[in-house]
Chains A and B, each alone.
Chain A
Amino acid sequence: MTPELGHFALVLALGLGLIQSIVPVIGVHQRDGSLMRLASSTAIAQFVFVALSFLALTVCYVTSDFSVATVYENAHSMMPLVYKFTSVWGNHEGSMLLWVLILSLFGALVALFGNNLPAALKAHVLAVQSWIACAFYLFILLTSNPFLRLAPAPFEGRDLNPILQDIGLAIHPPLLYLGYVGFSIAFSFAVAALLEGRIDAAWARWVRPWTLAAWTCLTVGIAMGSYWAYYELGWGGFWFWDPVENASLMPWLAGTALLHSAVVMEKRNALKIWTILLAILTFSLSLVGTFLVRSGVLTSVHTFANDPARGVFILAILVIFIGGGLSLFAWRAPLLKQGGLFAPVSREGALVLNNLFLTTACLTVFVGTLYPLALEAMTGTKISVGAPFFNLTFGPLFVPLLFAMPFGPLLAWKRGDILGVAQRLLAAFGVGLVTIAIVAAAEGGVSILAPFGVGLALFVMTGAVTDVVERVGLFRVPLSVVRQRARGLPRSVWGTAFAHFGIAVTLLGIVSVGTWASERIVGLKPSQTVSLSGFDLTFDGLVQRSGPNYRELVGKFTVRRGGVPVATMEPAKRSFESRATTTTEAALLTRGFSQLYLSLGDVNNDGSVAVRLYYKPMVLLIWIGAVIMMVGGALSLSDRRLRVGAPRPAAKPAAQPAE
């Protein structure tokens, strides 16, 4: 009964979605307020029904109802409860349901908190949002119904893919989807603005909090995915330039650009057309990402099933929305009025430069990700484009971007003084250069990239701090005044400083791991010792253990430093009988920001066990940087200006979506 209710709720949501797609638009044309207002009610109702549908599926999973095909395929009655929840979206059908759940959530949030939007704009936004929702409801109902029954019902399920049985996975997809799908709001606003042929600074103020919220979630989502891959896949890598990773990186890059160009539009009423285009492109890249991941054109851990019908359907959605969005843009954008003027050297100019580099970097990732697919489709030649390609293209484009980063916030709007800014950044230059010298001396001139990377990271960090220090007048005015000014500083300034600081922290982690990580792969017999970076690991033996739905072979290791035992490490190999699959559970020993990483390989003929041991200096900075960026996003989101809203105060469009 429950699955049928879930299915029915989804069909009802589709019905509501169809009404919301058409009626508000008619309302705008006939200037009928009640028709326009209908959109708010249907948006909330849509969310309620999709949530019911999602709840029904969750109930099926939690109660291990194997008469439902997807539950049978992806769950096991012995699975720990938390994984029964996460396996709801650990498969194609369920993850698409999560997608529309979040999509309808955003629609409902606009309906609830968009009280200060002009009625026509709100009606248009919700209608466009509903067009997207309907496309995906149809996709689920026609090609990926999660509620299909099996008769007769099997006694036991086939279990969730074991590498997905992990707590990191519990958080990664929902956060990532909040980001991906959150950009749909920016898209809907852009299309609505084009439909109305009118756009102003207030528009940017409405769009910014949504973009910011989506960006914040996407940042954490990507970081979570990267950390999950790091400890779960047993290779110790944090980023593989895998197409599905790129699929999430592209919307992030475009979204970051959008965030910055929306600032220009809000503050200076310039870059209007470009911002609209970016809003369309950012969500388009989210759709491309969904297509890459869900259609089965790529093989990866994210590709749950290969069904050509699904690929074609998503491709159709892609073509309609991206093609439609861009055609509308080409048709209506010339109607939008030109914005304010600015000199090339100015805050606007810096933000244009930011956009230029971000979008170009995004473009290289796009080429690197799609070129192999295009080449194969056209010539049949199979190639793989991996890390070397991206290091050679993406890397060089990101360096000038990072170098320019501290300048941006210090430049004045309209016309800036580059020399004055350079003077204020003297401390940052000093720190950067001294760091380069120290690292280069310590390295003995072996690598050029490492000192330069560390220096750049410290330059950006000091630059981010400089911005705040300058504004509060630290070292220039008494401390009490500083404190007062710090409190009075807009939260968005703090947000910028945090976000810029965070990316530098991530860079520092990446450079450090890339340069100074060490690794050993050896076969060990019990009581043998392996040494790496000052740690001595003694292998004490293998132990068998059993978990709820797996058996594991655990290696016991004692870690010593200078002869003194400091810790024990227990890497394991888990075998899941239901899937005849093994996963590697790496053991991590954290010292400061650095980690010792140990994973087990096979048992060899002579009784020795293969182990892979890494020392990853400052590796945690990679993800801590992302967390700092998230804090920056959240701070900026809590800015009073955004809470208050643009034209009429008393409404709050921002505060909600961060949850």
Chain B
Amino acid sequence: MTRKQRRLALIGTSLAVLAVAAALVLSALRDSIVFFNSPTDVAEKRPAPGTRMRIGGLVKPGSIERGDNLLVRFAVTDGKTDIAVRYQGIVPDLFREGQGVVAEGKLETGGVFAADTVLAKHDERYMPREVVDALKKSGHWQEGEQKGSGSSAK
């Protein structure tokens, strides 16, 4: 093979691999990404029941109810709209009333959100960014709320 043919073979293989990768990425992006919605988004957009998504906001104070078999019911609020969530399993350590939470799952026909994953914050000082944005959008975010007392270092 000449140098030119070898180079062509190399470029051809590279393009083929890249094309395969691009096809994989595009198909995976269509099928496996999950959109994030605030409770208000859900109320406004009315996504079809069964659509996989993430919702985020604050756990509404006084809304947590525990049932049998580790069933937990609570409401996620962005201050404007609430959405009822049902989850079976162990909630994270920092899952508390009035705290930020992100839940992933499906919206059921009755308007209840059946979560299969519940994420809370790693640290009491910081809030999931999606939640902050959702609260800002609904006008229930106060600047500086996130930081505890005495964060004069910043």
Contact = CB atoms under 8 A, between A and B. Distances in A.
Interface of A: 69-70, 72-73, 148, 150, 154, 158, 161, 163, 234, 298-301, 303, 305-307, 341-344, 352-353, 356-357, 360-361, 363-364, 367-368, 371-372, 381-386, 388-389, 392-393, 396-397, 521-523, 573, 579-584, 599, 601-602, 604-605, 610, 612
Given A161-B122, A360-B18, 6 more contacts: A69-B153, A73-B153, A148-B153, A386-B32, A580-B124, A610-B90
B34 A299 contact: no
B14 interface: yes
Interface stretch (B20-28, B73-81, B106-114): B20-28
Q: Classify the interface of chain B: helix, strand, loop or mixed.
A: mixed
A301 B124 CA distance: 11
A150 B153 contact: yes
A383 B24 CA distance: 18
- Tell me which of B21, B36, B124, B125 has the highest count of chain A C-beta atoms within 10 A of its own C-beta: B21
Contact of A602 (B29, B91, B122, B128): B91
B29 A301 contact: no
A581 B124 contact: yes
Interface in B116-135: 122-130, 133
- Tell me which of B1, B125, B127 has the highest count of chain A C-beta atoms within 10 A of its own C-beta: B125
A242 B153 CA distance: 29
Contacts of A604: 66, 70
Contacts of B6: 341-344
A361 B21 CA distance: 8
Contact of A356 (B14, B35, B93, B152): B14
B21 A393 contact: yes
A72 B123 contact: no
Contacts of B90: 521, 599, 601-602, 610, 612
A389 B10 contact: no
A163 B54 CA distance: 25
B46 interface: no
B152 A69 contact: yes
Given A301-B122, A384-B33, A396-B24, A583 B69 contact: no
Contact of B70 (A344, A389, A523): A523
Contacts of B127: 299
Contacts of B20: 396-397
21 contacts: A69-B153, A73-B151, A158-B148, A161-B122, A161-B123, A299-B127, A299-B129, A344-B10, A356-B17, A363-B21, A364-B21, A364-B25, A368-B25, A372-B33, A383-B33, A383-B34, A384-B33, A392-B24, A581-B93, A584-B93, A602-B91
A352 B133 CA distance: 45
A573 B92 CA distance: 11
B21 A360 contact: yes
A383 B32 contact: no
A651 to B, nearest CB: 36
Contacts of B130: 299, 382
Nearest to A344: B9
Contacts, number: 134
Interface string B9-53: 110011001101100110111011111100000000000000000
Contacts of B94: 581-582
Interface size for chain B: under 10, 10 to 19, 20 to 34, or 35 or more residues? 35 or more
A385 B52 CA distance: 12
Interface of B: 1, 3, 6, 9-10, 13-14, 17-18, 20-21, 24-25, 27-29, 31-36, 54, 66, 69-70, 89-91, 93-94, 104, 122-130, 133, 148, 150-154
A348 to B, nearest CB: 10
A601 B21 contact: no
Given A523-B69, A605-B66, A371 B29 contact: yes
B147 to A, nearest CB: 9
Nearest to B5: A344
A158 B18 CA distance: 50
A111 B90 CA distance: 54
Given A158-B148, A161-B122, A364-B25, A307 B89 contact: no
Contacts of B34: 383-386
A382 B36 contact: yes
A299 B153 contact: no
Contacts of B14: 356
A396 B104 CA distance: 26
A396 B21 CA distance: 9
A352 B11 CA distance: 11
A370 to B, nearest CB: 12
A341 B3 contact: yes
B36 A383 contact: yes
Contacts of A521: 70, 89-90
A580 B124 CA distance: 7
Contact of B32 (A73, A158, A385): A385
A371 to B, nearest CB: 7
Contacts of A392: 24, 27-28, 31-32
B102 to A, nearest CB: 9
B33 A397 contact: no
A341 B24 CA distance: 33
Nearest to A397: B21
Given A360-B21, A581-B124, A584-B93, A388 B32 contact: yes
Contacts of A522: 70
Contacts of A601: 70, 90-91
A458 to B, nearest CB: 26
Contacts of B150: 72, 154, 158
Contact of A343 (B1, B31, B89, B126): B1
A462 B24 CA distance: 30
Contacts of B70: 521-523, 601, 604, 610
A583 B120 CA distance: 12
Contacts of B33: 372, 383-385, 389
A388 B10 contact: no
A369 to B, nearest CB: 12
Contacts of A150: 152-153
A73 B153 CA distance: 9
A557 to B, nearest CB: 16
A300 B1 contact: no
Contacts of B128: 299
A229 to B, nearest CB: 11
Contacts of A584: 93
B154 A383 contact: no
A158 B125 CA distance: 11
A601 B91 CA distance: 7
A286 B36 CA distance: 28
Given A360-B17, A521-B90, A389 B66 contact: no
Contacts of A344: 1, 6, 9-10
Contacts of A342: 6
Contacts of B152: 69, 150
Nearest to A338: B3
A299 to B, nearest CB: 5
B17 A357 contact: yes
A228 to B, nearest CB: 13
B122 A300 contact: yes
Contact of B31 (A163, A301, A388, A579): A388
